[in-house]
Amino acid sequence: MDSERLRKLVRPEVQALEPYVAGKVPPLCHGKTLKLASNENLAIDNQDVNRYLRKVLHHSLVYYPDAHHTKLKKALSTFLKESGFEVSSEHIVFGDGSGESLQIIMMACLSPGERVIIPENSFSLYKTRALLAGAKVVEVPRKDFWVDLAALEEVVCQSKAKLVVFANPDNPTSTTYSLAAIEGFLSRLPQDTLVLLDEAYIHFAEWKESALSLLSRYPNLIVMHTLSKAFGLAALRVGYTISHPEMAVQMEKIRLPFNLGLLPQEGAWYRLTHPSPVWKSVSVIQKEREKLFTFLHQEGLSPLPAGGNFVFCDFGEAYQQLIKGLESHGITVRSLGSFGFHPRFVRITVGSSQDMAYFRQVFLSVRREVRR
Ligand SMILES: Cc1ncc(COP(=O)(O)O)c(C=O)c1O
């Protein structure tokens, strides 16, 4: 059978999808590489998790892991309570990364033809997972790069949307709304429109400003977090949603029973019960983010104010030479063509102090070369 005939056996929604574009892994260069393209936490010391997982590996791998994530849910609930958020196990659903959490919500809530509203140029999974569920996606233009909450509200109300999805802090712009602005938005929406608020990067902004505090007042709100960013466990693939318990019951029905393996469950449990490296690294990243912002400004560029562990910046006309120059020194940043922006717009992950000193040094020398 030729590939054309095979392709036609696949659902049309899938045929029409664009493949996911991941952050570039840097080429090996004099042994030094620095990936500033996928917003992982490069400043965390995770050796305690590695040591703990080595011990876990002494146990038998014969048995299935806990299908109910009991110990992990309890640890998360305690962690959140210690942060001031009243969340119990019945509100929590774990996913194989928050990418899977997103997919579970879409599969659980969307019927073909229903409308999903997202900001234009957002994290690509919002669109692809909604299309996969057969939904109609309406993309709302941004305002000066920011997610336009007023425009989202208007489109939601006009189109009788089932679901609106956006990130705060936003990816890729790192722009961040206050809790008051998020609450204002929620208060003006119809109660039967679901709001999925992706707070993948909230720990780098103001953790106390998480919309988790709004859940009891807005049953249509679902908050999504991940352990891939501030918690430094992207390789383990653990994300979760916090929602009304009824929504959690429905979501639990469709997630795969063993979506989190033993190592993801144990690694996440360890980090949630020993979180001090998270806050230590967040404070380093916040300082380095400020430094990077000032540095880019001094270089005559215009970075946006950032709440996430990354900075959005226009590299200008010479963007290709700058990006290539950085790559030749082993540094990859994310050019945002695949998000729908002009590729001169770039997202730079903020790493450790050492990483950022190296970035600034290389950036200056590449820029000098480009100007010659
Ligand atoms: C805004 C946002 N949401 C969700 C994710 C997915 O994270 P993960 O699937 O690793 O939990 C990412 C990853 O880059 C992201 O940027």
DSSP string, 344-355: TEEEEE---HHH
> Based on the domain organization, do 254 and 292 belong to the same domain?
no
> Based on the domain organization, do 111 and 143 belong to the same domain?
yes
Ligand 1 neighbour 169 (Cβ under 6 A): no
Question: Closest residue (by CA) to atom 12 of ligand 1?
Answer: 200
Domain of residue 169: give its range.
57-275
Domain limit, last residue, from 260, 275, 290: 275
> Based on the domain organization, do 244 and 357 belong to the same domain?
no
Instruction: Please give the structure tokens belonging to residue 122.
Output: 């957002």
Q: For 329-358, b where at least 16 C-beta lie within 10 A, e where not — what string? A: bbbbbbbbebbebeebbbbbbbbbeebbeb
Cα of 234 from ligand 1 centre, angstroms: 9
Ligand 1 neighbour 23 (Cβ under 6 A): no
Q: What local confidence, expressed as pLDDT, does residue 363 receive? A: 97
Cα of 339 from ligand 1 centre, angstroms: 14
pTM of the model: 0.95
> Based on the domain organization, do 33 and 78 belong to the same domain?
no
Q: CA-based Rg of the chain, rounded to a whole angstrom? A: 21
Instruction: Count how many domains the chain has.
Output: 2
Domain limit, last residue, from 275, 290, 315: 275
Q: What local confidence, expressed as pLDDT, does residue 31 receive? A: 66
**Rounded distance between C-alpha atoms, residue 197 and residue 18, angstroms:** 23
> Based on the domain organization, do 33 and 79 belong to the same domain?
no
Helices (H), the chain: 3-7, 12-15, 47-56, 70-82, 98-109, 125-132, 149-159, 179-187, 245-254, 262-273, 276-298, 319-328, 353-371
Residue 50 maps to a domain: no
- Specify the residue for token string 């807005």: 218
> Based on the domain organization, do 250 and 114 belong to the same domain?
yes
Residue whose CB lies within 8 A of the most ligand 1 atoms, among 168, 171, 240, 312, for a mutation test: 171
Ligand 1 neighbour 39 (Cβ under 6 A): yes
**Rounded distance between C-alpha atoms, residue 45 and residue 52, angstroms:** 13
Block mean pLDDT (10 aa), the chain, length 372: 87 86 69 91 98 95 97 98 97 97 96 97 96 96 98 96 98 98 98 97 97 98 98 98 97 96 98 98 98 97 97 97 96 96 98 98 95 83
Q: Which of 98, 86, 117 is nearest to 236 (CA)?
A: 98
Q: What local confidence, expressed as pLDDT, does residue 30 receive? A: 59
Give the domain CATH number at 300. Answer: 3.90.1150.10
Residues 165, 198 contacting (CB under 8 angstroms):
yes
Pairing of strands 136-140, 163-167: unpaired
Q: What local confidence, expressed as pLDDT, does residue 27 receive? A: 63
Residues with Cβ within 8 Å of 118's Cβ and at least 6 positions away in sequence, in order, are 126, 127, 130, 137, 138, 139, 140, 164, 165, 166
Pairing of strands 34-36, 163-167: unpaired
